[in-house]
Amino acid sequence: MSPLSAQLDQKSGRRRDKKDELRLLINSCHPIIAVETFEETRVEELLAEVALELNVPLFVWSVTSGLARKGAEAPIYHTDDPEQVLANIALIRGDALFLLKDFERYLEQDRILRRMRELAESFRDARRSIVLSGASLKLPPELNEEVVPFRFELPDADLLLQVVLGTLAELGKKISYKVELDSNGLRQLAQNLVGLTSEEARRTLTKCLLQSVHADASTITAVLEAKRLALRQEGVLEYLKADASFADVADLKNLKEWLRKRRGALTAEGQRFGLVPPKGILITGVQGCGKSLSAKAVAGEWGLELAKLDAGALYDKYVGESEKHLRKSLGTAEQLAPIVLWIDEIEKGFASTGASAAVDAGLSQRILATFLTWLQDRQSGVFIAATSNDISALPPELLRKGRFDEIFFVDLPDAETRAELFRIHLQRRGRDAAQFDLAALAAACDGFSGAEIEQAVISALYTAFSQKQQLSTDILLGELRATRPLAVTRQEDIAALRAWARDRAVPAN
Ligand SMILES: Nc1ncnc2c1ncn2[C@@H]1O[C@H](COP(=O)(O)OP(=O)(O)OP(=O)(O)O)[C@@H](O)[C@H]1O
Ligand SMILES: [Mg+2]
């Protein structure tokens, strides 16, 4: 046995666990098992293995091909009709497993639902189970008693290693290319594919290999890039480079301190130590004061990967499939753990739904419910850094204790912080901050947000350039005098925000 296959054998434990779990469900006479998954093929394979071990026949159904015994040629006559297939199943005697693909939608019909319940009732005393699979399963509550869910996650690195080996072997039969990766390299390759389904992983790897004709170190990074792209194309989850850190953020001391204390709690080491992994924070406050910036900086600061969930895109892109895509995105985030999941302007995806419920036929309610369920049940390893510009639009369920560890309120910067903001933004544009009178600048922009200070620096650079001068304190002061900050124009909004935050949020600065 090669070292790699020995390693594989050892590490396929998790897969075996899954099989054991499924076998247990079947052996304990659960009439209906619901598997929510994007990987129908993997479910079918796993069921086939279990059926073989238990020595019971497996029947597979889909609406296009009808019901057929696995391994048999022809389907049973006329079983492509969803009601008829239940009648046929009732006639099949003895132990058996039935995999019904995408059957959930037919359960909305009363007759079919009724038949399913009767069938389930008659299954109670034999090793007969119906397995319902689908990408998003919402079963009618009448079946609650009979149904047991079976979690089927995206494949982990161990399973993907088998996909990698399989793909290499498969491709080797068609084209000639060189594998210059040792077992560690192959493992890294598999690790970089985590977050994709087996099928997506196979396609991504094949594409990379066809482009380079070598499987070497460059394939490992090419695969990572391809994965970023694949996830981006899905539109909801964007996999980002975590390049911001707290060095780029002025003040927000409380927030930074809170996060610093919890650094490392998401890593395997922290968890072995017994740290309770933090779940997430919600940052709200005055516009342009660094909410988005600091949420993004968490990943860089903690040295974790960063993914952004574009909750708004859920509604634009996938009419009718929004929940499925949300669920898949959240599942992907779990697979990429430990990771920071940044949800910017969370109200865009999970706004209070009272007014819109009638308009979108309950879609936003279902999206919210999906998200809340996930927040509740998820495994650790995904830290949520959410921001909100309009907290009054958020449903109270989302703000209830326990959903987020803390809600932070970001206020306008004080004089000391404003000086720091000038320093950061001058230096970012290649200027030596020591050459400027930071105290005078800070004094001249009471009520300015960080974004407005940055904007002043940018405009002053234009002014200086057009006057063929070097940037100076005077030019900056001129820009500040010409700006009416939001704190003045939107005074009432800011007062309302502060009032809201007073007893609900912790000050970030
Ligand atoms: N505390 C800060 N430290 C450094 N830069 C800041 C800070 N606050 C704001 N900025 C600058 O202002 C820009 C805008 O900030 P950011 O987008 O994070 O604000 P926001 O609070 O999310 O605003 P919005 O309410 O418009 O979403 C940032 O890109 C950054 O350059
Ligand atoms: Mg923002």
Residues 6+ apart with CB under 8 A from 505: 284, 407, 408, 409
C-alpha span between 90 and 288 (Å, rounded): 64
% of the chain with per-residue pLDDT over 70: 92
Please return the burial class of 176, using the count of CB atoms within 10 Å of its CB with bins 0-12, 13-18 and 19+.
exposed
Write out pLDDT tens, residues 166-202. 998 888 888 777 788 888 888 888 888 887 888 888 8
Report helix angle 157-172 to 198-212, nearest 10: 50
pLDDT value at 480 more than 70: yes
Substitution candidate for ligand 1 out of 293, 454, 494 with most atoms within 8 A of CB? 293
- The model's pLDDT over 445-459, given as tens digits with 9 standing for 90+, comes to 999 999 999 999 999
Amino acid 2: pLDDT = 42
Instruction: State yes or no: cis peptide before 338, omega within 30 of 0.
Output: yes
Environment class of residue 498 by beta-carbon count within 10 Å: exposed (0-12), middle (13-18) or buried (19+)?
middle
Residue 375: CB within 6 Å of ligand 1?
Answer: no
If we measure between CA atoms, which residue out of 396, 457, 469 comes closest to residue 428?
A: 457
Q: What is the pLDDT of residues 340-362, one digit of tens each?
A: 999 998 888 877 555 454 556 67
Contact predicate 478/441, CB 8 Å: no
pLDDT of 6 reads 40
Measured from the Cα of 509, ligand 1's closest atom is 1
Atom of ligand 1 minimally distant from the CA of 249: 3
More confident residue, 10 or 252: 252
In the numeric block, the tokens 């865009």 are attached to 348
pLDDT of residue 280: 93
Of 426, 492, 471, 490, whose CA–CA distance to 453 is shortest?
426
- Least confident among 11-20, 45-54, 221-230: 11-20
Does ligand 1 lie within 6 Å of residue 219's CB atom? no
Domains along the chain with CATH numbers: 3-151 (3.40.50.300), 157-234 (1.10.8), 261-410 (3.40.50.300), 415-489 (1.10.8.60)
Amino acid at 242: A
- 214 CA → ligand 1 middle, Å: 44
Using the CB atoms, write b or e for 307-338: b if 16+ within 10 Å: bbbbbebbbeebeeebbbbbbbbbbbbbbbbb
Distance (Å, whole) CA 347 – CA 365: 13
* pLDDT computed for residue 242 by the predictor: 78
The rounded distance, in Å, linking the Cα atoms of 421 and 156 is 43
Q: Which two tokens stand for residue 66?
A: 């009808």
Residues 39-81 have pLDDT tens digits of 888 899 999 999 999 999 999 999 888 999 988 778 888 788 9
Spacing, Cα 452 to ligand 1 middle (Å) = 9
Give the C-alpha separation, 263 to 266, whole Å.
7
Q: What is the pLDDT of residue 269?
A: 80
Task: List CB contacts of 38: < 8 A, sequence separation 6 or more.
Answer: 135, 154, 197, 328
Ligand nearest to the CA of 285: 1
Report pLDDT for 3: 40
Q: What is the mean pLDDT of the chain?
A: 84
Rounded CA-CA distance 304/298 in Å is 8
Tokens of 57: 């026949």
CA distance linking residue 425 with residue 249, whole number of Å: 10
The pLDDT value recorded for residue 360 is 65
- pLDDT by residue (tens digit) across 21-43? 888 888 888 899 999 887 888 89
Phi, psi of 500 (to 5 degrees): -60, -45
Say what the pLDDT of residue 4 is: 41
**Residue whose CA lies nearest to ligand 1 atom number 4:** 249
* 347 Cβ below 6 A of ligand 1: no
What is the residue with the minimal CA distance to atom 11 of ligand 1?
Answer: 451
The burial of 258, by beta-carbon neighbours within 10 Å (0-12 exposed, 13-18 middle, 19 or more buried), is given as: middle
**3-state class percentages of the chain: helix first, strand second, coil last, to nearest 5:** 55, 15, 30
Confidence at residue 468, expressed as pLDDT on a 0 to 100 scale = 93
